[in-house]
Structure 1
Amino acid sequence: MEAGPCELREESGLEAEGLRCALVLDVKDSDTGRFRIEIFLFPMGRVRGELQTREDGREPVFVPMAELSHLRLTPHIAATLSDIRRLHARDLDDDTPETTAVYGL
């Protein structure tokens, strides 16, 4: 998990305390037909910085966890992400946002 904070900063412009890996997926990109690795991280504390676009055509946005099920995520992982967050709820501190960043909406 040492690379997590660096990847988060490089990919999104954000810094977060206590990152935990939620899941890792090998996803086929529908535009290019190529596979890419998607890593989902949960902060266990404060998130600082300003969300920035670092990839062409993939605009990151913060989405409340309760609204994930309304998005067309590929693969369909909204319920999985919500379940994983619930599993870690007792470890979250008061500054942890009830949102997740989603790319490519």
Structure 2
Amino acid sequence: MNAYLLGALFFVIAIVGFVLQNDTQVTVQFITWISSPISLAVVVLISASVGALITFLLDSYRAFKTGQKLRNLINQNRKYEKEIQALTGSKPSPKSKEEV
């Protein structure tokens, strides 16, 4: 996690340095849309913000799916432990930290 934050901080510093050095006016063309002249710094900031938002949304989806899979595996493990207890007649094992 610290390496991720350090990388993000480095990226932000690089973007700020780029923005401060590039204040020229540019025209953005996207498919058939053409913008009026706008500062290159604004274009870079908007692009970086949209990229960060897309990355956040994709990572949130991945984290949700991972959590869902973990819950399913924990429930499956509990079911198998109950089956083992029923077959062997042993006492239930103490709860592990992962189940909490």
- Identify the TM-score tier after normalising by the shorter chain: under 0.3
TM-score by structure 1 length?
Answer: 0.23
Bigger relative contact order (CA 8 A; separation at least 6): 1
Normalized per residue, which structure has more strand?
1
